[in-house]
Amino acid sequence: MRRVAVVVFPGSNCDADTLDAARAAGSEAYYVWHRDTDLQQADAVILPGGFSYGDYLRSGAIARFSPVLQAVTAHARAGGAVLGICNGFQILCEAGLLPGALMRNARLKFLSRPVRVRVDATDTPFTRTYRRGEELTLPIAHGDGRYVVDAQTAALLEADAQVVWRYVGDNPNGSTNDIAGVCSTGRNVVGIMPHPERRNAPVLGGQDGARVFLSLEARNATQHAGDLRADDGRHLRV
Amino acid sequence: MSAFTVEIRVMPRAALLDPQGQAVQHALHALGFKEVGTVRAGKHLLVEVQAATREEAAARARTMCDRLLANPVTEDYHVAVETG
Tell me, what amino acid is at A15? D
Task: Name the pTM for this structure.
Answer: 0.89
List the beta bridge partners of residue B45: B8
Q: How many Cβ atoms from other residues are within 10 Å of residue A151's Cβ?
A: 9
Which tens digits make up the pLDDT trace of A58-87?
A: 999 999 999 999 999 999 999 999 999 999
Q: Which of A127-136, A157-166, A222-231 has the lowest mean pLDDT?
A: A222-231
* Greatest pairwise CA separation for chain B in angstroms: 50
Residue range A156-180: mean pLDDT, rounded: 97
**B chain contacts of residue A103, beta-carbon cutoff 8 Å:** 12, 16-17, 74
Return the pLDDT at A100.
Answer: 97
Active site residues of A: 86, 195, 197
Q: Which of A131-145, A156-170, A224-238, B35-49 has the lowest mean pLDDT?
A: A224-238
Return the pLDDT at A228.
Answer: 44
Do residues B38 and B53 lie in contact, with contact meaning Cβ atoms separated by under 8 Å? no
DSSP chain A: --EEEEEE-TTB-SHHHHHHHHHHTT-EEEEEETT-----S-SEEEE--B-GGGG-SSTTTTGGGSHHHHHHHHHHHTT-EEEEETHHHHHHHHTTSSSSEEE--TT---EEEEEEEEE----STTTTTSPTT-EEEEEEEESS-EEE--HHHHHHHHHTT-EEEEE-S--SS--GGGEEEEE-TTS-EEEESS-GGGSSBGGGTB-TTHHHHHHHH-SSTT--HHHHHHHH-GGGG-
Residue range B37-50: mean pLDDT, rounded: 96
CA angle B64, B67, B73 (to 5 degrees): 120
Return the pLDDT at B84.
Answer: 57
List the beta bridge partners of residue A2: none
Interface of A with B in 101-120 (CB under 8 A): 101, 103-108
Tell me, what amino acid is at A65? F
**A218 confidence band (pLDDT: 50, 70, 90):** confident
Q: Is the pLDDT of residue A222 over 80?
A: no
Q: How far is the C-alpha of A92 from the C-alpha of A45, rounded, in Å?
A: 12
All structural domains of chain B, each given as residue ranges with its CATH number in brackets, are 2-83 (3.30.1280.10)
The minimum CA-CA distance between B59 and chain A, rounded to whole Å, is 21
Q: Is the pLDDT of residue A220 over 60?
A: no
Nearest residue on chain B to A65, alpha-carbon basis:
B68
Q: Is the pLDDT of residue B10 over 90?
A: yes
Burial class of residue B21 in the structure, from the number of CB atoms within 10 Å of its CB (0-12 exposed, 13-18 middle, 19+ buried): middle
Chosen for mutation from A148, A153, A157 (greatest number of chain B CBs closer than 10 Å) is A148
Partner-chain contact A104 B20, CB within 8 Å: yes
All structural domains of chain A, each given as residue ranges with its CATH number in brackets, are 3-237 (3.40.50.880)
Residue range B42-70: mean pLDDT, rounded: 97
The minimum CA-CA distance between A17 and chain B, rounded to whole Å, is 30
Interchain contact A33–B (C-beta under 8 A): no
Which distant-in-sequence residues (6+ apart) come within 8 Å of A151 by Cβ? none
Do residues A93 and A63 lie in contact, with contact meaning Cβ atoms separated by under 8 Å? no
**A219 confidence band (pLDDT: 50, 70, 90):** low
| Facing B71 at nearest CB: one of A58, A65, A174 | A58
Q: Is the pLDDT of residue B17 over 80?
A: yes
Q: How far is the C-alpha of B79 from the C-alpha of B84, rounded, in Å?
A: 15
Radius of gyration from C-alpha coordinates of chain A:
16
Mean of the per-residue pLDDT values for chain A?
92
Return the pLDDT at A230.
Answer: 38
